[in-house]
Amino acid sequence: MKLFDARIVLGRAIDLEPFQSSDVESIRRALDRYGIERALLSSFASFRFDVSYGNRLTFEAAAADPRLIPCPAVLPDAVGEVGDEDALVGGLIERGARCVGLYPKSCGLAADERVLGRLLSAACVRRLPVQVPAGELDLLPMAGLAARHPDVPFIYCPYPPGLYRDRNLLPVLADTPNLHMTINPPFGLNEGIETICARIGSGRLLFASNYPIAEPGAAIGHLAYADIPPGDLESIAFRNLEGLIHAVRL
């Protein structure tokens, strides 16, 4: 099974256990051990400390291994921090980014067009995927952003576990065709992969390990033992994310 990991994070966060940390070498070992062929790389520092510093760490680490693709964090230019959003997005793509991370909660950003509109419009022009962790934005505001920017592929990672959560998730996914979702821990809907494949299709599910918060084996096992056709498994494991990356306008 070919694997394209939609979320690996460099470094550590103070609210995690000491063993939930990573550096370039530990990430390489994880890729080798689990046979992960490619991975999107983010950095804790970019959304827990300083965007520019964390992004520099992300690009440096990705340059050390061709399997790693930078997924830097982005901000709107509300107070003159990052410059013109179109130039920002274009510059990140030129440096090798094929996805960007948006962290509304950590960066104090409202999910409002007046705040994020220009930034997301810049991503739209380039068809650049925008990754948003579920802990940073609730599902319905996330779906609202996606609906207002239908040509931006949004990656929601992951939908958190909880009783009855599929009652919200399935209608939102069905009505929001540019909203994709990862299946990394703590994704925990009972037979969630099977249900989404049957009701929505496999085309918007993405494999992700969430390393170092979780070991890659958890997501790999969840996917490998899902009762879905081989073609769906291959799409979730690799092809869906590969398609999003190849669609970025360079």
Instruction: Work out the end-to-end distance of the chain between its first and last CA atoms, rounded to an integer number of angstroms.
Output: 29
CB 96 within 8 A of CB 70: yes
Residues 147, 249, 183, 174: is their CA dihedral positive or negative?
positive
Cis amide bond preceding 212, omega within 30: yes
Three-class DSSP category at 86: helix
Domain count, the chain: 1
Q: Is the pLDDT of residue 15 over 80?
A: no
State residue 20's pLDDT score.
Answer: 79
Look at residue 101 in the predicted model and tell me its pLDDT. Answer: 98
Q: What is the pLDDT of residues 161-220, one digit of tens each?
A: 665 667 888 899 999 999 999 998 766 666 889 999 999 999 999 999 999 988 999 999
Q: Residue 229: give its domain's CATH number.
A: 3.20.20.140
Phi, psi (degrees; rounded to nearest 5) at 18: -55, -35
Q: What is the pLDDT of residues 105-133, one digit of tens each?
A: 999 999 999 999 999 999 999 999 999 99
- Looking up tokens 């498994």 gives 233
Q: What is the pLDDT of residue 81?
A: 86
What 3-state DSSP class applies to 124?
helix
Four-CA torsion 92, 113, 155, 10, nearest 10 degrees: 50
Domain hosting residue 67, numbered range: 3-246
Closest by Cα among 219, 209, 211, 167 to 188: 219
Residue in the block written with tokens 């300083």: 50
Query: Would you call 242 helix, strand, or coil by DSSP?
Result: helix
